[in-house]
Amino acid sequence: MLNRVFLIGRLTRDPEIRFLPSGLQVTSFTVAVNRPYRTKGSDEWKEETYFFDIEAFGMLAERLGKQLGKGTQILIEGQLRQDRWETASGEKRTKVKVVADRVSIISGKQSEKIEEKEETDLDISAEPEDFSSDEDVPF
């Protein structure tokens, strides 16, 4: 089975940070992704915007929570996850989110590259920041 997503977009708000009962950090944010398209029968270009909810866990979540801010443009690599729940009135609900495995900052708050290193051991370069996680994602 294949479940892989790649998105480039901008954060619509600052990330939200929370902790699971186990102590694992979760960072959530929404990205706006623009899709240009040409209308049928003309050369006119239009653009539509899609909004995707993103979650990251563990060390990746910690680093993203510190480095990302509203307006930051990022590349996200991850997988889709469908949450399912029932409301108090018994209605069934679902929501699809992207669980990030890797995030690279294209432009925004900072331009240094952050890898899976200690906070005091940052690799500063002209390339986009790259946040990666090999941790298991709890779901």
- What's phi and psi for 9, nearest 5 deg? -165, -175
pLDDT in tens, 54-79: 999 999 999 999 999 999 999 999 99
Q: Which region holds residue 90: left if phi is over 0, alpha if psi is between -120 and 50, else beta?
A: left
pLDDT given at position 41: 81
> pLDDT below 70 — which residues of the chain?
109-139
Q: Give me the architecture of the 5-36+46-132 domain, per CATH.
A: Beta Barrel (2.40)
Enter the pTM of the model: 0.73
pLDDT given at position 131: 54
pLDDT given at position 25: 95
Q: Where is 60: in which H helix or E strand?
A: helix 58-67
